Structure 1
């Protein structure tokens, strides 16, 4: 019988970099939409800390195109309507689909609710109330 090996700690996402033209404006936009705070600058990065400890570290690009990325945020169902209201208050259209062909609508995928919107740099942001089913 071989000795048992300890279970290694799980691998977790710690942070990711989000390119922006104006790191402050983009970080504050997302923080306002999701009702979060912008953290103190860390070198060239401006973090928005999510509830699970992951940070989106906004990094300012002064030239060249910003490649649109997709970021999905799992929000409690009771906070979903407030997110949509904050988007509306900012004059930002939300969509039911990632291609942005269904303005002002939401989806009801996998037993939850979801919506997509663009941030100031064209990143395709998504809010969902239920994780997508994985097989």
Structure 2
């Protein structure tokens, strides 16, 4: 799974779990504040991932990591938290089948940000696919 195409299987599993996240969250946030729901979800993730890292033998001293790693992981964590708060709020007031696709506009933004900040250069074919995702999001978001 660590081959040059191994990333695809992990990304596909991520998509499956993300889809389940939307459905489970939509059911779970009925009658509860979306921010509290996000906190509960985060606490469960911390416990589950800590156990996974420990039992997989992947634990190392995080205080030995370089400052740059801490800065960017912290920024990533803050962005993740903000995304979750917004996502759960959107799920609470909207339909999961509409919220989740709009949330995937992140794919388009990742391509743009990776082009701008990481120097990645998607091919014309890849840009066409990214544009189709953007078009799909607009079709779902616009009223009939």
The verdict on a shared fold, with TM-score over 0.5 as the criterion, is: no
TM score, norm. by length of structure 2? 0.24
* TM norm structure 1: 0.25
Which structure has more relative contact order (CA 8 Å, sep 6+)? It is 2
Determine which structure has the larger strand proportion and give its number: 1
Q: Judging by fraction of residues, say which structure has more helix.
A: 2
